[in-house]
Amino acid sequence: MSRILIPLMAMAATLAPASAQSDQNSALFGQINEITTELTRITGLKFLKKVEYAPITKPEVNKFLRDRLKEEMSPEEIRAEELVLKKFGFVPADFDLASNTIDLFTEQAAAFYDFRKKKLFVLESAPGDLQRVALVHELAHALADQHFRLEKYIRKGSTNDDSSLARMAVMEGQAAWLMSEYMARQMGQSLKGSHGMADMVRRTEELSAGQFPVFDAAPLYIKETMLFPYTYGLLFQHAVLERLGQEGFSEVFRRPPSSAQQILHPEKYFANLESTTTQAPKPPRAKDYKLLTEGTLGELDHLILLRQFGMQAEAPELAAHWRGGSYQLWERKDRRGTVLSYASDWDTAESARRFMASYAKILKKKWKKMETSSETPGVLSGRGDDGYFVLRLSDSRVSSLEGMQSAEEATAVR
C-alpha cells in the first residue's frame, strides 16, 4: 500500500478547532449521550470519559491535511512513493500523488476523531443525516481509543506497509460495523447472525458512485486501498464477532491481524497464518544506485494489480495464493533513472508459475513498447519503456528488476 494513504487516513482524524457551533450543530451533538450509551450496550465497553467535540469547515480540513502531510512526510519521501506507484503501473505517469490524495480525503470528509487531542469534529456542510451517521462512526473511534490507544496501535504497524493497512482495517472496520449496527438497531434489526454483509457493503459502494467526482476519477489502486479498511475491515470485524461475540471488539486490538490477507480471509487470522519475509533482489552495480524506498506488497496489492491490467476473473483466486512480497526502488546516483526491484512468494510452485505468466502480461500492458530478448520457462528479459528488465521464476518465488540501463546489467542478474 502507498504509505501516503496510511498517514492521511490517520491524520484525517486529527483536525484543528473550528468556530462556534450553530443550532444544527448543537442539536447534533446533543445526541452524543444517547449514542454512547448504545455503543456501550453493543460492545460491553464503557466510555471512560466524555468526548470533546466541535464543528469544522471543508477549507479547514484541506488546509490541515496539507500542513500535516508536510510534517509527516518529506518531499523526497512523497516523490519516492509516487515513483513506486508509477513504476508498478498503479497510477499514470502524470499523476500528482500528494495533491490528488489530499483532494480525495478532503472530498470524502464528513467527521473526524482526533486521537491525539481526544476530540471529534463534524463537517458543518454535511447533510444532517450524514452528520449523525458519521458522529456514530467517530464516537466508535473515541471508545476504542479510550481503551486501546489508537495512535500507539497504528504506529506499531508502521514498519510494514501491509501490517499498517491491516491495523487501519481493524480501526475503521470496527467503527464502520458499529455504525451499521447502531443504525440497524434504530430500525429494530441487527447485523448479528446476518449472512448478507457482503451484499450490503457492495450496495453501499455502488450508491456512492457519481457523488464524489475526485474519488470517481482516481486510479483503481487509490480507490481500492482507500475503501479497503472500511469495507473489508467491516466484514473482518463481523467474522470475528460471529466467532468470539463481544470479546471480538477487544481481541482485534490485543491481537492485531498482521496482513491485509488476514483481513480478506479471516480464517487465516484465526489460524495465525503469517506471511513470509522475502527480499527483493538488488540491482547489479548497486554502488551506482541509492535506495529511495522499500516496503511490502500484500495480497490486496496483487489483487488490484491483476484487476487493473485486465485479469478481473482470475485475480481473486490467484492473489489468494500469495504468501509474501516486497519491493525496493533504487535511483542512479546521477539521477538518470530508477530501478524497481520486486519479489513475491506463493504457496506452491504452480501458483508462482501462474503469477509469473500474469506478471509478464502486466509488463506488456503497462508499457507502450516491450521488446523480448530472451524467454524460457524460468526467465523473461528484454526492454521496456524505462529500460531493461528481467523477470525470474524460482520454485515458488517470482522476482523482477525493471529499469536497468543496459542489456549487460540485465544478464548479470542472478
Residues in Cβ contact with 269 at an 8 Å cutoff, skipping those fewer than 6 apart: 236, 240, 257, 262, 263
Q: Is residue 332 situated within a structural domain?
A: yes
Q: Are residues 300 and 261 in the same domain?
A: no
Q: How far apart are the C-alpha atoms of 172 and 137, rounded to whole Å? A: 9
**What are the tens digits of pLDDT across the range 41-89?**
999 999 999 999 988 888 988 887 888 788 888 999 999 999 999 999 9
**Edge-to-edge strands, sheet with 371-375:** 289-296, 322-332, 338-346, 397-404, 387-394, 379-384, 371-375
Question: Do the domain assignments include residue 281?
Answer: no
Q: Is the pLDDT of residue 18 over 70?
A: no
Same domain, 246 and 150: yes
Say which amino acid occupies 328. Q
pLDDT of residue 64: 78
Q: Using a pLDDT cut of 90, give the percent of the chain over it.
A: 65
Cell output for 90: 498503479
> At which of 246, 270, 294 does a domain end?
270
Boundary of a domain, candidates 270, 294, 323? 270
- Among 35, 8, 11, 28, CA closest to 114: 11
pLDDT band at 160 (very low <50, low <70, confident <90, very high): confident
Classify burial at 156, counting beta carbons within 10 Å of its beta carbon; exposed 0-12, middle 13-18, buried 19 or more: middle
26 inside domain: yes
Structural domain of residue 96, as residue ranges?
Answer: 5-270
CA distance 96 to 332: 22
- Check whether residue 156 and residue 299 sit in a common domain: no
Pairing of strands 52-56, 119-123: parallel
Judge if 127 and 198 occupy the same domain. yes
Cell of 149: 490507544
pLDDT number for residue 70: 85
What is the number of alpha carbons within 13 Å of residue 129 lying toward its C-beta? 1
Amino acid type, 37: T
- Give the total number of structural domains in the chain: 2
Confidence at residue 155, expressed as pLDDT on a 0 to 100 scale = 85
Q: Verify that 314 and 401 share a domain, yes or no.
A: yes
Domain end among 237, 270, 303: 270
What pLDDT was estimated at residue 21? Answer: 39
How far is 168 from 233, CA to CA, in rounded Å?
8
CATH number of the CATH domain containing 389: 3.40.1000.70
Residue 6 to residues 33, 101, 162, 163, 193: CA-CA distances in angstroms? 31, 11, 10, 11, 32
Residue 302 and residue 240 share a domain: no
Q: Per the structure block, which three cell numbers stand in for 218? A: 482516481
CB 237 within 8 A of CB 33: no
Residue 159 has pLDDT above 80, yes or no: no
Q: Is-contact 364 376, C-beta < 8 A?
A: no
Predicted TM-score (pTM) of this structure: 0.91
Residues 6 or more apart from 348 whose CB is under 8 A from it? 321, 396
Residue 276 placed within a domain:
no
Same domain (yes/no): 259, 309: no
pLDDT, average across residues 28-37: 91
233 and 298, same domain (yes or no): no
The three three-digit cell numbers of residue 92, written as one number: 499514470
Assess whether 159 and 307 both reside in one domain. Answer: no
- 277 domain-assigned: no
Is residue 263 within 8 Å of 257, Cβ to Cβ?
Answer: yes
Q: What is the DSSP string of 280-314?
A: PPPPTTGGGEEEEEEEE--HHHHHHHHHHTT-TTT
Q: What angle do CA 97, 102, 106 make, to 5 degrees?
A: 150
DSSP bridge partners of 329: 293, 340
Q: Is residue 370 part of a domain?
A: yes
Please check whether residues 123 and 247 belong to one and the same domain.
Answer: yes
Q: Which three cell numbers stand for residue 184?
A: 440497524
Average pLDDT, the chain: 88
* Residue 2 pLDDT: 58
Q: Are residues 103 and 136 in the same domain?
A: yes
Q: Given a cut of 80, is residue 414 above it in pLDDT?
A: no
